[in-house]
Structure 1
Amino acid sequence: MSLSASDLTELMELWEELNLTAADHGNLSRVETLLCSGGGGSGSAPAVGHGAFLRVLSVLYAFIFLVGLAANAPVVWVNLRRDGARYETHLYVLNLAVADLCVVATLPVWVTSLLLGGRWPFGDAACKLTHLVFSVNLFGSIFFLACMSVDRYLSVALLGDSPDSRRGRKAARRLTCALVWLLALAASVPDTYFLQAAKSSHHDGAVCRAVYPQDNPREWMAAVQLSFTALGFAVPFPVIAVSYALLAAAIPPGSDRERSVSRRIVLTYIVVFVACWLPFHAVLLLDTLTLLGAVPFSCRLEGFLDVALHLTQCLSLLHCCINPVLYSFLNRSYRYHLMKAFLFKYSTKTGLARLLLPGEPASDTEYSAAAATDASVNEGAELKDERGRS
């Protein structure tokens, strides 16, 4: 269904009011100064039905919520049950899973708002708190991926495995995790400060939206979007890419097949991060340049940006569902602990253990021996576990 000028204006404001991320704001001020025709030609709005688009977004976010919850909850549970030695080597994985779990846990609130046509029935405090939880954990998820890439390279290539070295790395990991959460909080506070449950000008009820200072709202919006791109992609992506590239070059000698598998795994980490986040940040940067006047405004561009921002944001949130697969489920050690925690009695009786983990012990005595051995393996062996799955 083609949108009229009033429909487009309402849709732009709804996206601004939903404010699903620190960068997710509408461009109502520009639409109000240049009413876009709903007809054809270069000034036409995209032929997207308002209600249908809201429903599609609701379904996508509901899907991400269900998959993210099912994938990340077992990772958190299994890592918390591990003994002290293994807990330390998987501290980043645990924090990553907690962050991803908290991100997807906020999605039902946003879905409720979408199904209500953008209305926010939860009040001002919930508006700020829900967005803060979402933003802190989204930044945290990205930062932990960067920290994990650096840690893996240092563990395999540079650091020794003496007791003093292991103790130093444990302390460094704890401190790094604390600093990551503080940095994620600091990155999220400025935009959250401007959020409020404000009255909508297009329908009854309140909406959760950022209200920037009236003298320069565009500059504030552009600054927030640029900071999100810088902290969410421009800084962490080079860290991830360089660290894993160095790790691929430093993989210990082995068979050609083992090295090939290991390098494919490392390449997958980089490709998945780019595939999930680059489209969103590219569209966001284009929107920021339009806000600053560096790119000429048009109604067609406005309609494209509005739809593209939300669809690419859904793509970026899929990373919360993919992370546990890449960093946990592909690891034979994790699969062993998962089976030990959830399926031990059933799997040992039916042979499921040997089916899922070829070569792993299947008896109770063998499981205990494997656990004792596994706890003494150094951090560099984690990559070998991943290679061994094939």
Structure 2
Amino acid sequence: MDDGTSDYDYNTTIDDEEELLCNLDPSPAEVITQTYINSIICAFGLIGNALVIVTYIFYKRTKTMTDVYLVNVAVADLIFVVALPFIIYNEQYNWLMGPVVCKMLRSAYSINLYSGMLLLACISGDRYIAIVQARRSFGTRTRALIYSRLLCSAVWVFAVALTLPTLIYTERFEDPNPLNEPVTVTCALSFSKNETAMLVKVLVPSLQMGIGFLLPLLVMVFCYSSIVCTLLRAQSSQRHKAVRVVLVVVVVFIVCHLPYNVALLKYTLSLFKEKHCEAGKLQLRVLAISRGIAYLHCCLNPILYAFIGVKFRSHFRQILLDLWCFSKKYIYSTRSSRGTSDICISGFKSSDGSHNMSSFSV
């Protein structure tokens, strides 16, 4: 079974005497632990991000640029959590779903990473313009929404372009075992030339760390540092509350992805030197743990919206109320159904019409 720690093959340079005796596959206990953790992340991420999207579509509406960005972040997370159970299944059953699915599933995390981080950078830029450079706002709401949708489209195209090396070079192939054990099927980067292998194995993690993490991080640090300085001068509690939600989301995203990017950097540097079997095993173990932490962001964002955003909590409560109302409509008698239906329609309209300002706006 593949260790699931990366989109590409982590075969390391090991001394010739150790090569035949070194087994870099994770232990059964590690495999079971990873499976359970990924299953939990998938379940919570699927429910949470689906609720976020439903809330924006039917209750809250996308009224600001930040709202549009956050919907797209939820979509990016949802794409990955939908792919995650298929990744788990294929890793346990030798990638039975074929080479095309292998390529798509291995590309899911890269697309999620690039689009999610770049969208969070867009959010910080939007908040910077709205608070620090208020006079340079985009004007009307319609014009602002057009700008945000164009930026989101550009982010998605860019994320797909950056994922192309993973998509092109990922292959489903049989991994020969020197100990005459059953052959395992692997889905990882595969190359016909050593020069291409070294180039891509350095290029992919470098792009992931540079464009998918460091660049958005620098944008966020600059924007939110300026925002904090402006808010301290303005002494506005309302603005503090509006920025707090987005700021906490960004901090949690960084905390989730920083360990994996550090481990990925160490791996990239290790490509240029020999290492022993135990060092290779330790590196894979650290990558597996840090990558599991990186997966957590898919289910943490909706929790942050629910417990920090006051208006978002009210919309979640409205969803539960409407679900309860519509369920009663089909359980009780015709007279009871008519009364319940009126309550549900009234609740839906008030949720959409009475809130004129986004919970992420200032």
TM-score range, shorter chain: 0.7 to 0.9
Residue 78 of structure 1 is aligned with which of 48, 51, 55?
55
Q: What are the residue-to-residue correspondences of 1:174-189 with 2, within 5 Å? A: 174-189=149-164
Residue 89 of structure 1: how far off its partner (Å): 5.1
8 Å Cα contact 1:104/1:320 also seen in 2: yes
Residue 206 in structure 1 maps to residue 206 in structure 2? no
8 Å Cα contact 2:132/2:227 also seen in 1: yes
Residue 308 in structure 1 maps to residue 286 in structure 2? yes
Determine the C-alpha separation between the residues in 2 that align with 1:138 and 1:162: 28
Determine the C-alpha separation between the residues in 2 that align with 1:161 and 1:291: 47
- Equivalent in the alignment of 1:52: 29
Q: What are the residue-to-residue correspondences of 1:245-260 with 2, within 5 Å? A: 245-251=225-231, 253-254=234-235
Identity across aligned pairs (percent)?
A: 24
Residue 194 in structure 1 maps to residue 169 in structure 2? yes
- Equivalent in the alignment of 1:26: 10
Structure 1 vs Structure 2 CA RMSD: 3.4
What whole-Å deviation, never above 9, does each CA across 1:278-336 have from its counterpart, x for those lacking one?
Answer: 1101111001001023xx63333322211111110000010111122234552122222
* DSSP-derived class of the 2:355 partner: helix
* Cα separation, partners in 2 of 1:85 and 1:262, compared to 1, 3 Å: closer
Q: What are the residue-to-residue correspondences of 1:93-132 with 2, within 5 Å? A: 93-116=70-93, 119-132=94-107
* DSSP-derived class of the 1:120 partner: coil
8 Å Cα contact 1:121/1:205 also seen in 2: no
* DSSP-derived class of the 2:132 partner: helix
* Cα separation, partners in 2 of 1:277 and 1:49, compared to 1, 3 Å: closer
Residue 138 in structure 1 maps to residue 116 in structure 2? no
Letter in 2 for 1:63: I
Q: What are the residue-to-residue correspondences of 1:331-346 with 2, within 5 Å? A: 331-344=309-322
* Cα separation, partners in 2 of 1:209 and 1:285, compared to 1, 3 Å: same
* DSSP-derived class of the 2:18 partner: coil
Residue 53 of structure 1: how far off its partner (Å): 1.3
- Equivalent in the alignment of 1:354: none
What whole-Å deviation, never above 9, does each CA across 1:48-69 have from its counterpart, x for those lacking one?
Answer: 9621111111111111111111
Determine the C-alpha separation between the residues in 1 that align with 2:95 and 2:175: 10
What whole-Å deviation, never above 9, does each CA across 1:260-290 have from its counterpart, x for those lacking one?
Answer: 7677656534432232111101111001001
8 Å Cα contact 2:130/2:137 also seen in 1: no
Determine the C-alpha separation between the residues in 2 that align with 1:162 and 1:262: 17
- Equivalent in the alignment of 2:205: 225
8 Å Cα contact 1:150/1:243 also seen in 2: yes
Determine the C-alpha separation between the residues in 1 that align with 2:212 and 2:137: 35
Residue 371 of structure 1: how far off its partner (Å): 4.5
Residue 172 of structure 1: how far off its partner (Å): 0.9
Q: TM-score, normalised by structure 1?
A: 0.75
* DSSP-derived class of the 1:133 partner: helix
What whole-Å deviation, never above 9, does each CA across 1:335-371 have from its counterpart, x for those lacking one?
Answer: 2222223314859xxxxxxxxxxxxxx9997985674
* DSSP-derived class of the 1:31 partner: coil
Determine the C-alpha separation between the residues in 2 that align with 1:184 and 1:204: 34
* Cα separation, partners in 2 of 1:291 and 1:36, compared to 1, 3 Å: same
8 Å Cα contact 2:62/2:68 also seen in 1: no
8 Å Cα contact 2:119/2:155 also seen in 1: yes
Residue 170 of structure 1 is aligned with which of 145, 149, 162?
145
* Cα separation, partners in 2 of 1:35 and 1:75, compared to 1, 3 Å: same
Determine the C-alpha separation between the residues in 2 that align with 1:158 and 1:198: 53
8 Å Cα contact 1:101/1:320 also seen in 2: yes
Residue 225 of structure 1: how far off its partner (Å): 1.5
Residue 241 in structure 1 maps to residue 216 in structure 2? no
Determine the C-alpha separation between the residues in 2 that align with 1:366 and 1:207: 52
Alignment coverage as a number of residue pairs: 339
Determine the C-alpha separation between the residues in 2 that align with 1:302 and 1:283: 12
* Cα separation, partners in 2 of 1:346 and 1:366, compared to 1, 3 Å: closer
Determine the C-alpha separation between the residues in 2 that align with 1:319 and 1:336: 23
Q: Bigger relative contact order, structure 1 or 2, given CA contacts below 8 A and separation 6+?
A: 2
Determine the C-alpha separation between the residues in 1 that align with 2:296 and 2:352: 33
What whole-Å deviation, never above 9, does each CA across 1:244-274 have from its counterpart, x for those lacking one?
Answer: 222222238346x767767765653443223
Q: TM-score, normalised by structure 2?
A: 0.81
8 Å Cα contact 2:111/2:159 also seen in 1: yes
Long gaps (5+) in structure 1: 1-10, 39-43, 348-361, 385-390
